[in-house]
Structure 1
């Protein structure tokens, strides 16, 4: 089980980015949470099998939302992230 914190910058608010990210997470069996930040970025916590997390990160980098555009992604492994039963878009 891999647990990561992801920070995404670009055109990621107001374009369906969180909803699209949740759809990708559900498809890959990744659990966690995604939320908008005050600085215009989106942050998320994600838990899943290594291969699912790698695919999830790649899809986030490509912007799961057709109207979105990702300019920067930071990924940090964090074993202290709380496991959730599903992926939540806050």
Structure 2
């Protein structure tokens, strides 16, 4: 019960803080990282076994999050390098 309540409060507080500080596309990736955090906590707190299926799933999920985060930073670098888009003169 404590983990559910504390985990929810911490996750929600972190998410609301992140929405104010980061682009929404980056902030939304927290939902994909939560299961990975739960697996790691289960491993350390309760000595739960990690099977090969879990490792494959975590690799796919974390790989997707890395792609989203790196794509977001690539878009930001490109927009800073090129400047704001020009508006056509009519």
TM-score for the superposition, normalised by structure 1: 0.29
Structure having the higher helix fraction is 2
- Greater relative CO, 1 or 2 (CA 8 Å, sep 6+): 1
Larger radius of gyration: 2
Structure having the higher strand fraction is 1
TM-score for the superposition, normalised by structure 2: 0.29
